Amino acid sequence: MTKQTHATAANPIRDAAYRYIDAGYRVLPANARRKFPTLKSYKQYRNKPPSEKQNERWFLSANAVCILTGEVSGSLEVLDFDQGGRAFDAWCDLVEEHDPRLLQRLVVQKSRSGGRHVFFRNELITPKSNVHARTVTPDVKDKTVLIETLGEGSLVMCDPSPGYVVLQGDLTNLPVMSIDERAILVDAAAAFNEVNSSVENAPTTKTTSDGTQPGDDFSERGDVATILTKHGWRLLHDGNNQQWCRPGKATGCSATLKDGVFYVFSSNASPFEPNKSYSRFAVYAFLEHGGDFSAATRQLASEGYGKAEDNDVNLSSFLDGLSGETKAKPPAEPELPDPGPVPESLLQVPGFISNVMSHCLDTAPYPNATLAFAGAIALLATLAGRKVRDPGDNRTNLYLLGLAHSAAGKDWPRKLNVQILHQVGLADCIGERFASGEGIQDALHLTPSMLFQTDEVDGMLQSIKKSNDARYENVLSTLLTMYSSANTVYPMRRKAGKKSPGTIDQPSLVVFGTAIPNHYYAALSERMLTNGFFARMMILECGQRGEGQEPKIAEVPNAIIDVAKWWADYQPGGGNLGTWHPRPRIVPHDDAAKGILIEARLHAEREYAKAERKNDSVGTTVWGRVNEQTRKLALLYAISVNHESPLIDEPAVKWAMTLVDHLTQRMLFMASSHVAESPFATDCLKVFAKIRKEDNLKIGHSKLLKAMAMEAVLFKKLIATLVERGDIIAEQETTAGRTGTLYRLNRVQQD
């Protein structure tokens, strides 16, 4: 039926009703004031459509029209923004950050009360009606709905009913949402929930509390954000109502943290249950102690939580010589959360990488899983160089940097790689030092696929930062260019008065470097972070040296040698020209992997856009490389699992996306903590870092002066400035009859 068939005179309500019927909706006449059908009973029309005569009779004089939502109208779902639509604009901003194009597809209607209705259909599900966000208004004691979805069993009033106007799109041409797209819309709505249904907490040691028990104390001042980050949660938006994304999920809000209460929406956020809230202490107990609240209480007590009020430290003392009593404003918390070093679960790749790691850990004098992983993936990347690619022509060349202290076992993975490459006849692929940019070019001209293993990365960066060694500047420039030339031709430099030395066809340079952590971070500068080298590196922190083991002589297992030999002998397409102009084999990805890769790309693009809006040059540089890094790692995962018939599948892509996102978040956090725009700002960051390393987050004057390694006069000026600015607090403490000065960070929660 169409409005042209039934229209005899101008009647906007009737005409709209027939347009909606033609669009596949179940439509009923309504009372505009009551926002309800004018029929005595309408439930039967969910099971069968009204007749043509009924429609003609209904809409002959109807003054409003409504649509039944849910399956009967083609899986129609409507997001209803109440309270004058006060959360609508903020919701739009949140959706736009996840998918800028999604908002443009939606159909938006203004309601009579000034609220908003967002219309869409669902691809694979029948939507249910549900409240996603509630609020408590100052003049209303009860909980009120802020955002809800109208699905199965509900209805919605529609334009041109009095007071209802379509602001965007066409109600007769709705977009169809995939499950992931709908999740973005609904998760964004849930992020605005301001009411907690219940608080999950357990008594610490008593059924009643005076507020000074360890659990209560932690709920007051505990750093739950760090705990969540440690266990894979990711902070999406900071502020009064923080929004968090659960582990294993790339986009969407899974929980909020407001006023010390963690409210979970997701049904896949174990050990937490959906639609429940948890105190800081409950979060700590579940994540750190498997839900054992007694063990959590004992541990917190050992860490100093639960002190009585009369034992609190007097924080009123400041440095002598400062005039007046200054109540400085605590400095802002860092914008970027710290995800911590890579968890060992993300270092597990089946097949060749796992086999090499196992042999390395079994034979190393000081086994280190992170270094073993870096060595194994660097070896595979070298073996497969110029031999495979993904459908986007991404290659296996990687730049890896393992951060480990001296004698922590950095040499063993490098020695193992040399041993394996020698055994399969690829000794020419190994390089050790970056003599010069020209030297790298010459080496790749002779052997286009090479593995450089070096322990001088931090020295190179220090020299570049101080601009006292042009040789290293040339090395860095060559490394940057080589990385991007793996799928093209690299023209070698021409020397004055001589013929062109030619080109390097598809150079595959893999770098496995190591550095001492504090030397590496001291070498970073804003220029280093934005020239692209930092963004190309996969930085893997190796942590403390593990327990040593007795050395053993063990042959490399045949399972490793056989695969390495297969790669050494494998020649992809190219015929007689294959050795110098190969056509690498394309490793396909299945449909599931393709969808996740698109999601990962959009996530990186959103983060890039956020950094761009903030004029954050470091953020744009790093996020600009995330998509490429993800695809490289997914390719390596696939060929590790099956070198003869590889396929980039869902596990490969999910692992790559999770690992790269974690490394990126950690890189940006560490950069923000160690890199400053001026030498003075750098010294300030050093002071903060020294204080945070202390067990009680306090450090004595003499110890800090010695740790800073600077002249006493400059140190005094630095400390006086930090105290006056309110960044740190100086306290007088008497021990064994001697009074000394201690410094601590001026933060409410001593993070």
Measuring CA to CA, how many Å separate 293 from each of 260, 264, 296, 305?
18, 19, 5, 14
- Quote the DSSP letter at residue 398: -
Nearest alpha-carbon partner for 635 in 466, 456, 398? 398
First to last CA, the chain: 66
466 with 410: CB under 8 angstroms?
A: no
Could you say which architecture CATH assigns to the domain 679-745? Orthogonal Bundle (1.10)
Query: What does CATH list as the number for 344-492+504-571+584-672?
Result: 3.40.50
pLDDT of residue 7: 42
pLDDT of residue 196: 54
CA distance 27 to 454: 71
431 with 523: CB under 8 angstroms?
A: no
CA distance 580 to 506: 9
Top-level CATH class of 12-191? alpha beta
Query: Which stretches within 389-469 are classed as H helix?
Result: 411-423, 437-446, 457-466
Whether the CA torsion 114, 120, 126, 127 is positive or negative: it is negative
CATH 3.90.580.10 maps onto the chain at 217-303
CA distance 324 to 332: 24
Please report how many Cα atoms fall inside a 13 Å half-sphere around the Cα of residue 360, on the Cβ side.
30
Q: Give the count of beta carbons closer than 10 Å to the beta carbon of residue 662.
A: 20
DSSP secondary structure string, 568-604? HH---B-GGGTTTS-BPEE--B-HHHHHHHHHHHHHH
Instruction: Enumerate the β-bridge partners of residue 573.
Output: 583
| Residues with Cβ within 8 Å of residue 235, at least 6 apart in sequence | 225, 228, 229, 242, 243, 244, 245, 337
SS3 95: helix
pLDDT of residue 636: 97
pLDDT of residue 560: 96
Provide the token pair at 606.
């959103």
Nearest alpha-carbon partner for 13 in 52, 55, 62, 54? 62
State the 10-residue block means of pLDDT for the chain, 751 residues long.
46 91 92 84 85 89 91 93 88 82 91 92 85 68 78 91 92 90 86 60 38 76 87 78 78 76 78 81 89 82 64 34 37 57 89 95 92 96 95 94 85 94 94 79 90 78 58 76 89 64 88 83 68 82 83 89 95 60 91 90 88 81 91 97 95 94 86 61 73 80 83 81 79 77 66 40
Q: Give the count of beta carbons closer than 10 Å to the beta carbon of residue 211.
A: 11
Where b means 16+ CB within 10 Å and e means fewer, 305-338 reads bbeeeeeeeeeeebbeeeeeeeeeeeeeeeebbb
CA distance 742 to 463: 35
Any idea which fold 217-303 has? Answer: DNA Primase; Chain A (3.90.580)
Provide the token pair at 67.
């649509």
Planar angle of CA 595, 649, 179, nearest 5 degrees: 30
Q: What is the largest CA-CA distance in the chain?
A: 102
CATH 3.40.50 maps onto the chain at 344-492+504-571+584-672
Whether the CA torsion 283, 286, 291, 297 is positive or negative: it is negative
Omega before 588 cis (within 30°)?
Answer: no
CA distance 363 to 706: 40
Provide the token pair at 697.
């987050």
pLDDT of residue 646: 96
135-143: Cβ within 8 A, 24+ apart: 135/83, 135/192, 135/193, 135/194, 135/195, 136/194, 136/195, 137/83, 143/195
Q: Give the count of beta carbons closer than 10 Å to the beta carbon of residue 121.
A: 16
Provide the token pair at 190.
């849930």
Nearest alpha-carbon partner for 668 in 726, 717, 721, 624? 624
pLDDT of residue 543: 81
Provide the token pair at 535.
């963004």
CA distance 487 to 614: 33
Measuring CA to CA, how many Å separate 307 from each of 93, 210, 221?
43, 11, 12
CA distance 516 to 463: 15
Provide the token pair at 226.
């760090």
CATH 3.30.2250 maps onto the chain at 12-191
687-690: Cβ within 8 A, 24+ apart: 687/718, 687/719, 687/722, 687/728, 687/743, 688/727, 688/728, 688/745
**Residue 75 Ramachandran class (φ > 0 left, ψ -120 to 50 alpha, else beta):** left
Alpha-carbon 731 to chain mean position: 38
Provide the token pair at 49.
């459509």
pLDDT of residue 634: 96
CATH 1.10.10.10 maps onto the chain at 679-745
Residue with tokens 């969407």: 252
pLDDT of residue 511: 93
Provide the token pair at 445.
């001209």
- The two counts, helices (H) then strands (E), for the chain are 27, 29
Nearest alpha-carbon partner for 626 in 591, 654, 602? 602
- Quote the DSSP letter at residue 481: H
Omega before 337 cis (within 30°)?
Answer: no
